[in-house]
Amino acid sequence: MTRVKIFLFLLSFTAVGTLLEIYHPHYFTLLNVSTWNNFSTAFFSKTPSPHLIIVIPTNSTTTTKKPRLCFCENCLTEDQGLRKDRLDTFVEPLLSKNYKLSQDNYNWWRVSGSSAQTYHEVLERLFQLFPPVPDIAEPKSDKCRTCAVVGNSPRLRGANYGEIIDSKDVVIRINNGQVHGFEKDVGTKTTHRAMYPESAQNLDNSTHLLLFAFKMLDLQWLLEASTTGFNGRSYAPIISRINANKNLVMVVNPAFMRYVHDKWLARKASYPSTGIMTVVLALYICDEVHVFGFGADTKGHWSHYWEPQSKTPVNSVHPGSFEYSIIEQLDKQGRLKFHKGI
C-alpha cells in the first residue's frame, strides 16, 4: 500500500513538472530527469546525486549594513542607550578657545574672591600658550580606540594587570600614580596624566597633561608653572614649575565637572573625585574603556598601591562608595570592563 501511494505521488509530481516546463519554463526547470526512474533515484537515494534536480528562482534581496562608527565589538560611540541614560545633555568635556562657560556653571565652579572677568582673562592667556582645540582622536570605522583608566587603589598590588594596561591605545593615570617598581601590576605606558596642582608631577614629552581645575588658582598655576614659575600657596604644597609638552595640555571643562556631579553622582558629597570624572571622560573620548584600581581594600581601608597598608577610611569629601557602585553598574551593563584587582 505504501509503495502505491509513493508511486501515485511521484507520478502526479512528474505530471505537474512537465506542465510547468511546457507553459512556464523560465520559472520552473527540470534538469537531467528524463524518466521516472532517474527522478526517484535522485530524490530518495542515500547517495547524493551529481545532477541538479529542481531549480526554483527566488527574489533575494541584499541587506545593506549600517556603517559602523568604530571597529570595536561593542562600540561606545554607537551606544544609544548610554547616551539617552547619561550623556543626553551634551557638555564639552574639555575647554577650547571658543567655548563660553555660562554664568550659571561659573557660579557653581567659582570660589570666593574670583570673578568671571578674571576667569576669561586667564583662559585667553592659556590658549595663547596651549592648543586652542584639545587633541582628541575622532572615531573611525576601521579603528577601535581602547582606553585604560588606572586608579590608585591598594587592590592593584599583586593584580598583574601590567600587560593588559599597556595593550590599550590610551592609558590615563590619575594624580600621583606610581609606575617605577610596580610595572607588573600597573604597566609602564602613560599617554595621559590626570592631575590638579596639589597632585602635579613632571611629565615626559609624549604624555598629555589633563588638568582638573577645581578653582581659579588651578588655572593660574597651570599658566605660571608652565612659564615664569608659580609663587602662590594652597592647602598643600605645589610645585612651582612643571615640565610638560605645551602642545599636549588639556583642561577639563568646569561645566563637565558639574555635569558629573549633578547627573552621575546626584549631587552627593562636595564634588566628584578626579577618578570618577576621568572614567566619565573616557566614555566620551574612547570606543572601549577598561578601568583598573578603584575602591578601598577588602577591609574598607584606603591607601595607595605604592604605600604601606593604611587603616584610613575612604575620603569623605568624595562619595567613594557611590562612585564605586557607578563603575560596577557600568561594568554589568557591558559599557566598560572593571578590573577590580585583589
Give the C-alpha separation, 269 to 278, whole Å.
Answer: 17
Runs of H (alpha helix) within 149-240: 162-166, 183-186, 216-225
Band (245; pLDDT cuts 50, 70, 90):
very high
Please report the DSSP string for 267-328 in residue order: T-SSS--HHHHHHHHHHHH-SEEEEES-S--TTS-B--TTS----BPPPTTTTHHHHHHHHH
User: Which one has a higher pLDDT value, 303 or 180?
Assistant: 180
Measured distance CA(3)–CA(6) in Å, rounded: 5
pTM, to two decimals: 0.77
Lowest mean pLDDT among 64-68, 205-209, 248-252, 295-299: 64-68
Question: Phi-psi region for residue 217, left (φ > 0), alpha (ψ -120 to 50) or beta?
Answer: alpha
Q: CB within 8 A of 227, min separation 6: which ones?
A: 129
Helix (H, G, I), strand (E, B) or coil at 147: strand
Query: How many helical (H) and strand (E) elements, i.e. helices and strands, does the chain have?
Result: 11, 9
Please say if 318 is a catalytic residue.
Answer: yes
Q: Which residues of 6-17 are buried (b: 16+ CB within 10 A; e: fewer)?
A: eeeeeeeebeeb
Distance CA 292, CA 153 (A): 8
**Grid cell for residue 237:** 604644597
CA distance 233 to 220: 11
Provide the β-strand partners of residue 94: 252
Query: Under a CB-based contact definition with an 8 Å cutoff, are residues 225 and 240 in contact?
Result: yes
**CA distances to 204, 235, 254, 271 from 267, in Å:** 36, 24, 15, 8
CATH 3.90.1480.20 domain range(s) in the chain: 76-339
pLDDT > 90 fraction of the chain, expressed in percent and rounded: 57
Kindly indicate the confidence band of residue 332, based on its pLDDT and cuts at 50, 70 and 90: very high
In the predicted model, is pLDDT for residue 130 greater than 80?
yes
| Residue 199 contacts residue 175 (beta carbons within 8 Å) | yes
**Looking at the DSSP assignment, which residues form a beta bridge with residue 172?**
149, 192
Half-sphere exposure of 285 (CA within 13 A, CB side): 24
Q: Which residue has the higher pLDDT, 88 or 235?
A: 235
Distance (Å, whole) CA 184 – CA 204: 21
At the topology level of CATH, where does 76-339 sit? Answer: sialyltransferase cstii, chain A (3.90.1480)
- In this prediction, residue 276 carries a pLDDT of 96
From 196, 259, 271, 305, the catalytic residue: 271
CA distance 256 to 126: 19
- Is residue 259 part of the annotated active site? The answer reads no
Q: Which of 192, 318, 324, 339 is catalytic?
A: 318
pLDDT value of residue 110: 80
Using CA atoms, how far apart are residues 256 and 244, in angstroms rounded to an integer?
24
Average pLDDT rounded to a whole number, residues 240-252:
97
**pLDDT at position 87, please?**
53
The x, y and z cell numbers of residue 308, run together, are: 604601606
Distance of alpha carbon 29 from alpha carbon 55, whole angstroms? 6
pLDDT grade for 118, boundaries at 50, 70 and 90: confident
Classify strands 249-251 and 170-174 as parallel, antiparallel or unpaired. unpaired
CA distance 313 to 299: 10
The confidence score (pLDDT) of residue 78 equals 74
pLDDT for the residue 14: 52
Residue-wise pLDDT for 26-57, tens only, equals 433 333 434 334 433 333 333 444 443 334 34
Residue 23: pLDDT over 50: no
Residue pLDDT, tens place only, 142-192: 789 999 999 999 999 999 999 999 999 999 999 999 999 999 999 999 999
> What rounded mean pLDDT belongs to the chain?
81
> All 3 cell numbers of residue 283?
566614555
